[in-house]
Amino acid sequence: MRCILYAVFIVCLYKIDAAFADVASAEYVREIVNALNIQSDWNQTDSTQSDYIKNKPDIPSPDSVEYSANKVNEISSNSTDVQYPSAHAVYNALKSKADVNDIRFNTIPTSQPTGAPPTGQVFIWFN
């Protein structure tokens, strides 16, 4: 047992100086950290650069591909909350709506209209 303790003591005695020689200085560690403190660049394509992002998901640009599984070409009462309309469908739906400056929104006729009013509507006029 004494022999083992003596051997450990001798090994530790000679290795203490070597252990101190391998400790990095604070300045060296700061330099390494600053060199690694680089903002990643999503558009970097060179995988050897430090700002290159590895394992990026393949997301198509909005201009190239459209996910259109729930896109509809017509807006109707059957449309659901998860569907979205095409630009053409919106245009067609808005064509049937009256403009804000439509004369019917801010006038009341002064003479009695002729005929019967459309279903669900009434005539109002001033005499």
pLDDT in tens, 46-104: 989 888 888 888 776 666 667 788 889 999 888 899 899 999 999 999 988 888 777 77
pLDDT per residue as tens digits for the range 86-97? 999 999 999 888
Lowest-confidence region among 1-15, 33-47, 66-80: 1-15
Q: Which of 101, 71, 103, 102 is nearest to 86 (CA)?
A: 71
The whole-number pLDDT of residue 36 equals: 78
Q: What is the mean pLDDT of residues 13-29?
A: 69
Considering just the CA atoms, what is the radius of gyration of the chain in Å? Answer: 40
The answer on pLDDT for 1 being more than 70 is no
* Averaged confidence pLDDT in the chain: 79
What's the Cα-to-Cα distance from 89 to each of 35, 68, 98, rounded to whole Å? 54, 14, 17
When pLDDT is averaged across residues 16-32 and rounded to a whole number, the result is 74
pLDDT of residue 88: 93
